[in-house]
Amino acid sequence: MTSHDGARATEVDRSRELRAEFGPYLPLMGFLAELLGPRTEVVLHDTSDLSRSIVALTNGHVSGRSVGGPATDLVLKVLQNHEHDDRDFLANYLAESRTGGTFRSSTFFIRDVDGGVVGMLCVNIDDEPLTRARDLLEAITATTGLVKGASRGGAGDAGQWPALVAERLSMNVDELALDGVARIVAARGVDPQRMTPEEKIATVREIERAGVFLLKGAVAQVAVALRVSEPTVYRYVRQVRTSG
Q: In this structure, are residues 171 and 43 in contact, taking their beta carbons and an 8 Å threshold?
A: no
pLDDT of residue 158: 41
For residues 60, 85, 49, 7, the Cα torsion angle rounded to the nearest 10 degrees is -10
pLDDT of residue 150: 43
pLDDT by residue (tens digit) across 81-109?
887 888 999 999 988 887 677 899 999 99
Instruction: Kindly report whether the global pTM for this prediction surpasses the value 0.85.
Output: no
Which one, of 132, 41, 38, 117, lies nearest residue 78 by Cα? Answer: 117
The residues of the chain scoring below 50 in pLDDT are 1-5, 146-163
Three-state secondary structure call for residue 46? strand
